[in-house]
């Protein structure tokens, strides 16, 4: 085969050789639920099991297993916003986090900067970035949504404990405390 014909044949066959690789990429995507679901305001889905809540501090809206470990989504509940304060400054080395303020007012710290966040405001925190949030108002009527991408079963279990009022110093999860909570007056 002449060199020119060989190069032409090789070049033309490259797209065909890529097809099996494309098929493998599609097959490697995580599976999600076969059927969608609807969740009411008084329900939570920890472990993909939908239950009515009883004075929980946090609410799981999309469980880790609901979305093939791609996202974990939770919200604050009125019981968690009776007092001012929030978690310590921390990082997630393997997850991005997104905050979205549905209503009320919250403080969100990203790195050294603290933002006052009101309804409609959002924050994106890349993995490895120190961050936290705080409730600056007693009996805050607000709601804050937090999403972890990708989601993990360990993080969901950690939130499930907090929802029950169990605050463990150490947790087997992608969370490392790197500083104090936001200072409030």
Question: Is 9 among the domain residues?
Answer: no
Question: Is 33 among the domain residues?
Answer: no
Instruction: Kindly tell me if the per-residue pLDDT of 19 is higher than 50.
Output: no
pTM: 0.77
pLDDT value for 16: 45
Tokens standing for 116?
């006052």
Question: Is 150 among the domain residues?
Answer: yes
For range 176-183, the mean pLDDT? 92
Handedness of CA 149, 150, 156, 162 (dihedral sign): negative
Question: Is 135 among the domain residues?
Answer: yes
Q: Which of 58-62, 69-73, 173-177 has the lowest mean pLDDT?
A: 173-177
Strand order in the sheet with 131-134: 113-118, 105-110, 131-134, 90-91, 176-177
3-state secondary structure of 43: strand
Q: Where residue 135 sits, what CATH number does that domain have?
A: 2.60.120.10
Question: Is 140 among the domain residues?
Answer: yes
Exposure class string for 42-67: b at 16+ Cβ within 10 A, else e: eebbbbeeeeebeebbbbbbbbbbbb
Q: Which residues pair with 145 in a beta bridge?
A: 75, 100
Counting the structural domains of the chain, the total is 1
Tens of pLDDT, residues 82-139: 889 988 999 999 899 999 999 999 999 999 999 999 999 999 999 999 999 999 999 9
Tens of pLDDT, residues 168-178: 655 667 788 89
Tokens standing for 167?
């605050």
Question: Is 18 among the domain residues?
Answer: no
Question: Is 110 among the domain residues?
Answer: yes
Whether the CB-CB separation of 61 and 117 falls below 8 Å is answered with no
Question: Is 1 among the domain residues?
Answer: no
Q: Which domain holds residue 113?
A: 43-177
């Amino acid at each position: 085969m002449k060199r020119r014909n060989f190069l032409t044949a090789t070049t033309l066959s490259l797209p065909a050789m890529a097809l099996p690789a494309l098929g493998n990429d599609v097959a490697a995507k995580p599976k999600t639920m076969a059927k969608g679901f609807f969740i009411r305001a008084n329900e939570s889905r920890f472990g993909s099991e939908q239950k009515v809540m009883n004075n929980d501090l946090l609410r799981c809206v999309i469980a880790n297993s609901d979305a093939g470990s791609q996202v974990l989504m939770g919200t604050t509940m009125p019981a968690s916003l009776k007092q001012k304060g929030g978690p310590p400054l921390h990082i997630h080395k393997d997850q991005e986090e997104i905050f979205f303020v549905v209503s009320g007012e919250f403080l969100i710290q990203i790195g050294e900067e603290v933002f006052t966040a009101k309804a409609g405001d959002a924050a994106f925190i890349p993995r490895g970035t120190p961050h936290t949030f705080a409730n600056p108002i007693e009996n805050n009527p607000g709601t804050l949504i937090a999403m972890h991408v990708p989601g993990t079963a360990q993080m969901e279990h950690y939130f499930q404990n907090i929802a029950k009022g169990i605050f463990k110093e150490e947790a087997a999860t992608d969370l490392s405390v790197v500083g104090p909570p936001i200072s409030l007056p």
